[in-house]
Amino acid sequence: MFGLTIEQIAFIFRGAGWTIVLSLLGFVGGTLLGLPVALARASRRRSLKIVSGLFVQLVQGIPLPVIMFVVYFGISIGGYDVPALVAAGIAMTLYSSAYLGEIWRGCIQAVPKTQWEAGECLALTNTQRFVFVILPQALRMAVPPTVGFLVQIVKNTSYAVVIGFFDLTYSAKVINNSTFMPFTVFTIAALIYFAICFPMSVMARRFERRLNRT
């Protein structure tokens, strides 16, 4: 097929599998860390705001491949030999949490002030008000941009190739090295990336339209 053997194509798809694994890691980790980041950014406590703001600025100010290097070699300096998957997973977690945190902070702050006030006037505690009044409304708004950001996560996992992580980009590179058919090989890789990302973009747009309708 396209001048490649079935085994070679299967090899590329194995890489695609690891791309999905790393994307999931990045998303789950990014969610777990991004939620507290969003809460801290939106909170009234100055110290929390400053610390979380610094974190976001720092992560957003460093190119992702450099974060990958820093995490990978940083851990090995400590004398631990970590698999590239772990290092890449941590790097993707840091990266996604900074962006997801900002997206979600925006959603929390987009809930009208009058809703906060209504909750306050009903004698709800701050936590009750946040959990039962603000968060459900913020979550609804958060769905489209979050799904949209998933696409960024998937595409950006390709940077893990710099620390030798076996993903779609890496497997394509390997096959290219043995077949010398870069155009064919990377076109296949491109199509697979597209096949993963396109449905998510469509979904994000559909969610957004549904949200705008109501």
Q: Which residues bind another protein (CB under 8 A)?
A: 114-115, 117-118, 120-125, 128, 132-133, 136-137, 140, 214
Q: Taking the complex as a whole, how short is the minimal distance between the CB of residue 48 and another protein, in angstroms?
A: 22
The distance of closest approach from Cβ of residue 204 to another protein in the complex, given in angstroms and rounded to an integer, is: 21
Cα distance between the two ends of the chain = 48
Whole-number minimum distance, CB 84 to another protein, in Å? Answer: 43
For another protein, the closer CB: 80 or 127: 127
Least CB distance to another protein at residue 144 (A):
16
Nearer residue to another protein within complex by CB, 140 or 155: 140
Pick the closer one to another protein by CB: 61 or 213.
Answer: 213
Q: Whose Cβ is closer to another protein: residue 11's or residue 116's?
A: 116
